Structure 1
């Protein structure tokens, strides 16, 4: 049988010694999804984080008569 099935902690310990880059990569990879759930409430509660306003997607039109530009017509 495979050693990682019968003795998982011993396997992880051996891999941490033999291939530490894999161990660190898996550890950091597992922290990411946990951080997505845990970090935002901590930022709001303890650090007073307020998300910025949304960037406007349209430009407000002035509420007045618009004069079209003149003098840029094509010569005929």
Structure 2
């Protein structure tokens, strides 16, 4: 699975805005923003990308195609 890329964050007052390829993905406030900033300061660039992917929920789990083709999901 390829590493996530294209994420960036911007601190605006007490908010952290996370974007993916220039489009806003999520906004963190309060404790979540503070925890995110602490984690980013401790990590490196690759880890930051993975962290932002997890926070936004924008990452693949590897089973999307299998689940899509399952008979139980045929009517969806």
Bigger share in strand:
2
Bigger share in helix:
1
* The two structures share one fold, judged by TM-score above 0.5: no
Structure whose CA Rg is larger:
1
Higher relative contact order (CA 8 A, sep 6+): 2
TM-score bucket of the superposed structures, by smaller chain: under 0.3
What is the TM-score of this pair, normalised by structure 2?
0.25
